[in-house]
Amino acid sequence: MLKILQLQLYLLACCQVEEILTYQLTDLGQNVTINCGLDLKEVTWLLLNSPDPPVLILHSFSNPPATFYFNNGFKQKYSVQSKHNLFIKDVSIDELGVYYCTNMDKTAQFSNGTRLDQTTPITVPTPVCQNHTVVEQPTEPTLWQTATVIFGLISVFLVFGFIVFLGIFFADCSKKHNNSEDKDLLQPQLVDPVQGDQTSLFHKV
C-alpha cells in the first residue's frame, strides 16, 4: 500500500511541476512520435489531461515484441516503435495532453512528461462590453468543483493500484512460464533397447 501511495504522489508531482515537461507541438491531422526515454524491457504508456483521470493506453513488451491495448479503440490511433516510442496517427483534440511511459515494478520509473499541443491553438473571441465596466467578484470553490477534485484524486489512486496489480500479474505469468520450461527439461529420456539395457534414466531393467 505504501508503494502505491508513493506512485500516486510521484505522478501528482509530475502533473504539478511544469518545468519538467517537454513541449511537442503539432498540427491537427498530423502523425507524431513521442519518445519514451526508458531503457526497459516493458513499459506502460498513459495520457494525462487534467482535470480528467489518467488514461492507460497500452503496455509494450520488447522481448518478444508485443503490445497490449487497454482499449481496443486505441489500436487505430496508437502504436509502438523501437525503444517503446509511441506513434500517434492523425492527431485530434482527444490526443492532446501530457504523455508518460512508466514501468510497473518496484522501481517505479517514469519518463519525463511530454505535453503534446497543437501549433495554432483555438482562440475563443472575447465579448466586447461597451459603455459599462465589468467588475469581477472573487469566487470561492463550489461544492461541484471540490467533488470533481476529490473524484480525480480517487481515480488516480485506482488507476495506479490497477497498474501495480498488472505488474504483479505479468510477473506471476512470467514465473509460471519459466517453471513450465524447467519441468519439460526434467522429463525422463528413453534409451533405445538395442543400444543399451536401460529403459529410462530413472529405472534399471
Place of cell 505479468: 170
Q: What is the pLDDT of residues 70-89, one digit of tens each?
A: 999 999 999 999 889 999 99
The answer to whether 111 touches 45, Cβ cutoff 8 Å, is no
Alpha-carbon span 44 to 89, nearest angstrom: 18
Check: CB of residue 70 under 8 Å from CB of residue 59.
yes
pLDDT at position 190, please?
47
How does residue 121 score in pLDDT terms, banded at 50, 70 and 90? low
User: Would you state the pLDDT for residue 168?
Assistant: 81
- Distance, CA of 18 to CA of 104 (rounded, Å): 24
Q: Considering only 49-63, 107-121, 137-151, which range has the smallest mean pLDDT?
A: 137-151
- Confidence (pTM): 0.54
Q: Is the pLDDT of residue 95 over 90?
A: yes
* Residues 153, 155, 160, 162, Cα dihedral to 10°: 160
Among candidate residues 35, 46, 37, the one with its CA nearest the CA of residue 8: 46
94, amino acid identity: D
Is pLDDT at 198 greater than 60 in this prediction? no
| Extended strands (E) in 86-135 | 86-88, 97-102, 114-118
pLDDT of residue 165: 78
Of all residues in the chain, the percent with pLDDT exceeding 70 is: 59
The residue assigned the cell 481515480 is: 155
Rounded-to-integer distance, Cα 105 and Cα 168, Å: 8
Is residue 102 within 8 A of residue 108, CB to CB? The reply is yes
| All residues at 6 or more sequence positions from 30 whose CB lies less than 8 Å from its CB, including other chains | 90, 91
What pLDDT, on a 0 to 100 scale, did the predictor assign at position 125? Answer: 58
Q: Which three cell numbers stand for residue 109?
A: 520509473
What pLDDT score was predicted for residue 16? 44
Sorted by sequence, the CB contacts under 8 Å of residue 10 that are 6+ apart come out as 108, 110
Q: For 95-107, what is the mean pLDDT?
A: 85
Residue 110's pLDDT band, with cuts at 50, 70 and 90, is: confident
Within the chain, where are the H helices? 2-16, 143-185
Domains annotated on the chain, with CATH: 2-120+159-169 (2.60.40.10)
Q: What is the pLDDT of residue 150?
A: 76
- The runs of H, that is alpha helices, within 17-92 are none
